[in-house]
Structure 1
Amino acid sequence: MAEDYANLMAQLKAGQLNEFTVEPKDFMAFQRAYMNFESRKRVVGRAEKNGQIIYHYDHEQTQ
């Protein structure tokens, strides 16, 4: 079952969560939530081994 990525990104933005990981099998579910997230340009991913991506929120980025 895919995570509630909109909720996870909201938690990143609010500072309640530092990061979360998206597995390759869940990427399309994440992508749909990501494209609808109002401040998606601040959600930054870092690729890891085996196709995992760790996302965090860049609170210091200027828009």
Structure 2
Amino acid sequence: MAKDYQKLLEELHTGQIEEFEIDTDEFMDFQKILMNFNYRKNVVGTAKRGGGARYHYERSE
């Protein structure tokens, strides 16, 4: 079952979750959703060793 990337991004934005991870094979599907997300500039991804990435929301103070 595919992840609901829009929901994950919204949960990051609202603070319901701190971070989430995606695997390398999910990246292209996730990227399409991320590019249309209103707050994408605050979503920060960090590459994981061996592939995939971990995303968190960077709040401006």
Short-chain TM bin:
over 0.9
Displacement of 1:50 in angstroms is: 1.4
Q: How many residues align?
A: 61
Aligned residue number for residue 9 of structure 1: 9
Displacement of 1:51 in angstroms is: 1.0
Report the TM-score, using the length of structure 1 for normalisation: 0.90
More helix by share: 1
Report the TM-score, using the length of structure 2 for normalisation: 0.92
Distance in 1 of aligned mates of 2:42 and 2:55: 10
Q: Which residues of 2 match residues 20-35 of structure 1 at below 5 A?
A: 20-35=20-35
Gapped regions of structure 2 (runs ≥ 5): none
Displacement of 1:2 in angstroms is: 2.5
Q: Deviations over 1:28-55 (max 9, x none)?
A: 1100110110010000000111111000
Distance in 2 of aligned mates of 1:31 and 1:2: 14
CA contact (8 A) 1:21 1:52 kept: yes
Gapped regions of structure 1 (runs ≥ 5): none
Give every structure 1 segment of 4 or more consecutive aligned residues whose post-TM-superposition deviation is greater than 2 Å: none
